[in-house]
Amino acid sequence: MTSLPAVPLTLEGASVLHQMMRFRWTAWKALTPAERDAVLAEAAATLSAMEQSAMYSLIGHKGDFMLVHFRKDFEELNRAEIALARLRLSEFLEPTTSYLSMVELGLYDSTLKLYAGLAERGIQPHSPEWNQEIEVQLARQRQVMAPRLWPAIPDRKYICFYPMDRRRGESVNWYQVPMDERQRLMHDHGMIGRRYADDVKQIITGSIGFDDWEWGVDLFAEDPLVFKKLIYEMRFDEVSAVYALFGTFYVGLRVAVAGLAELLKV
C-alpha cells in the first residue's frame, strides 16, 4: 500500500472578496452639495441591491473603507466589482489592496478516519474507487455543513480581517508535519476559538492559489476588545506560536447604506 496522502480534505463554499479603499477627500469636497447628493443616491441604490456585501469604515492609516463581498462564485464577485467600478463614487475611491479567497472548512478528523478506513479495506490512494469514496464523504459533509459554507455576513458592529500563512521553511515546516500531529494541533487551536463563540463570529477562507497568503480570517464582534483577547490567547497555542505567520490587520466599523451620506458629510 502506498503511503497515505498528506493533504487533508477540505470543503469550499462562498467566494469572498475584500476591497480596501482610500477616499479622495479633496476631490469630494470640490463637488457641489447637489453633485455629492447625486453620487450618494446612485451608490445607495447599487449597494442596497447587494445583499451579500458590506461596507466598513477602517480605523487607522491603512485605508478609509473596506468592502466585503460573499458570492456564489468568482464570476459573481467579478460582477460585483465591476458594478462598483461603474459608480461615480468609484472616482473618489482609490484601491489600496484586495484579498480573494473562498470559505473553507478543514476536515482533519474526518480525513484521518476516512483514509484509515479505506486503507484497511485495501483501497489504493488516488484510485478510482478511492476517489469515489472520498467524493461520497465530501458530498455528505457539504450537506451537513451548508450553513457554515454559505454564511451571511454577520451583522456585528466591528470587523477584524487579516491574512495568514503556515511556516514552511527555516527551522520548521508545517507541511512536513505528519497529519495526525497536525490534526492534534488544529484541534487544540480550535478549542480556544470555541470559548469565544458567543462573543465573536469567525469565518476562515482559503486563498492558496488565489492570493499572496494561504488563508484569510474574518472576525465579527460587537466589542473590538474581543479581537485582542482571542488573538493574544491563540498566540500562546502551539500551532500559532510555532507555525503561524500573520499579515496586515484591518479593523473597521460596519457602515449601513443609509449612514454613508452622514459619514461623507463635509
Catalytic residues: 162
Do residues 227 and 160 make contact, with C-beta atoms less than 8 angstroms apart? yes
Alpha-helical runs (H) found in the chain = 25-29, 33-48, 74-86, 108-120, 128-144, 146-149, 179-195, 225-235, 238-243, 260-263
Question: What 3-state DSSP class applies to 208?
Answer: coil
- Can you tell me the distance from the alpha carbon of 111 to that of 180, in angstroms, rounded to the nearest whole number? 10
Distances (CA, A) of 215 to 74, 98, 118, 143, 207: 17, 13, 29, 23, 5
C-alpha cell at 184: 492534534
Length of the chain: 266
- Can you tell me the distance from the alpha carbon of 13 to that of 149, in angstroms, rounded to the nearest whole number? 4
